[in-house]
Amino acid sequence: MTTRRETRELEFRGERGARGPSTWGQRHIWTTLQVTRPHDTRFNLALSAQVPEGRSLDDVLAALRLLVERHESLRTTFDERDGYPPAQTVASRGRMTVSVEHLDGPGEQDPAARVWSEAASHHFDIASHWPVRFLVFVYQGRPLQVGAALSHMAVDILGGDLLKRDLEDLLSGAAGKPGSTARAHQPLDEAAHEQSDAGREALTRTLGLWRSAIEGAPPLFPSATRPYSGARYPSGTLYAKGLGRRVKQAADRLKVRSSAFFMAATAAALTRHAGADSCALTITCANRTSARTLDYVGTIAQQGLLVLDSLGPSLHDTVRRTWPALLRAHQYSRYDQGALDRLGAELAGRRDLDFEQTQHYVNFSEETTPIRGPEGFPDLADGEVVYQEGTPVTGTPLKFGMRLGTDGDDAYIRVFADRHYLDGKAVRGILDETNRLLQSGAAGDVSYS
């Protein structure tokens, strides 16, 4: 239990301060946050790092100051005073408040869980406040752990991982060596690249790919609404014992990654439910495909498309087709959100096409920690599954969302849907069919005939 909280002021002086256009990645997240308010806190991120022995609270504060000075995304605000898209303003100097929490005992509270709780509950007013909130946990005068709750406007998941690595280096003193403060690629630099001739040419190519995919993809979800009762966006998760391990073994035999196997089963379940044989599934792409973005601390991930012109006659054939399609998905994932929305409106008005790719997503994740299923899940036998109802989703414009993950041993399939379009029977059918294809396909091929 926390016995006392104090605040410390962090004064920073960065190398550059400027106002400029937002990046495509920032615009993508900005739009998402706007349409999901007041429930946008679920997009916040959190990170935590252990403080090495011998480091004082002043050392920790100095490390945080260097972190903020080094990464412009942590001292950036956004505004729409000139209309959409928002502009970003990087402050060259300023102050931040750091919360210092003094603990009763070194193990009486999990600081990492506390940071996640802070991130989940803290709303960031990114027009007037910094997109980061730091916490330091102290026991008997010694800092144990430091954490940060972050707006998604500051970093995406991989950007957060890079930030954590840099923070750990700063806490250890390794990042303070000569030559370690050279300015990396920053969001203002990325925005300048996107607004250049090369960036505009890339946008034109990307929009052309989206146009082709939208025109060629059949609808996967109903366009007409239906009456419903209860929660509009119920959710549920199927947990499968040992499925991740067996899928990995099958993927190895087919010389692909597990992601291709999981996504192929999902594509097959969705398209067959819709009575189709092809699809363009919306997936999230990390977009760190160039040298300038590999160490980019910012938000650059956007939605791309997994385009399958045909499933083929069996699941394993679909897996083989899915792997190169996943490698091509990032080609669809670098764009100005406003330009993509205008393309969708044009196609919908001219061809009566539903811009369905903005209304669903399917993502796969390789978890870095063991999957925690419901009570009794650890005792299940290999191959057994358990289903758990989840908390209804709030504040979403989507019709359907699915997330699949594995820790290398077990696996889960999590889904939610808008009851305006899909009833509980349909959603459970898609979930069960995805699981059936994965379970059976891990043991041998599955024919669609």
Q: Any idea which residue has 């920690």 for tokens?
A: 369
| 60-83 average pLDDT score | 94
User: For residue range 2-61, what is the model confidence (pLDDT) as tens digits?
Assistant: 568 899 999 999 999 999 999 999 999 999 998 888 888 889 999 999 999 999 999 999
CB distance 446 to 274 below 8 Å: no
Rg of the chain's alpha carbons, rounded to an integer? Answer: 23
* Residue (of 182, 169, 211, 189) closest to 290 by Cα position: 189
Helix pair 187-195, 24-36: axis angle to 10 deg: 110
Helix pair 258-273, 424-443: axis angle to 10 deg: 140
* Residue (of 122, 137, 133) closest to 51 by Cα position: 137
Contacts of 326 (CB under 8 A, 6+ apart): 257, 259, 260, 263, 283, 306
Cα torsion 325, 331, 333, 337: sign: negative
Confidence of residue 180 (pLDDT cuts 50, 70, 90): very low
**Mean pLDDT of the residues in the chain:** 91
Residue 256: what are its φ and ψ, rounded to 5°?
-135, 175
User: For residue range 376-407, what is the model confidence (pLDDT) as tens digits?
Assistant: 999 999 999 999 999 999 888 899 999 999 99
Residue 3 confidence (pLDDT): 65
Distance CA 21, CA 318 (A): 41
Residue 166 confidence (pLDDT): 95
Residue 349: what are its φ and ψ, rounded to 5°?
-75, -35
Q: Is the pLDDT of residue 370 over 60?
A: yes
User: For residue range 91-150, what is the model confidence (pLDDT) as tens digits?
Assistant: 999 999 999 988 877 665 677 787 878 878 888 999 999 999 999 999 888 999 999 999
| 280-288 average pLDDT score | 94
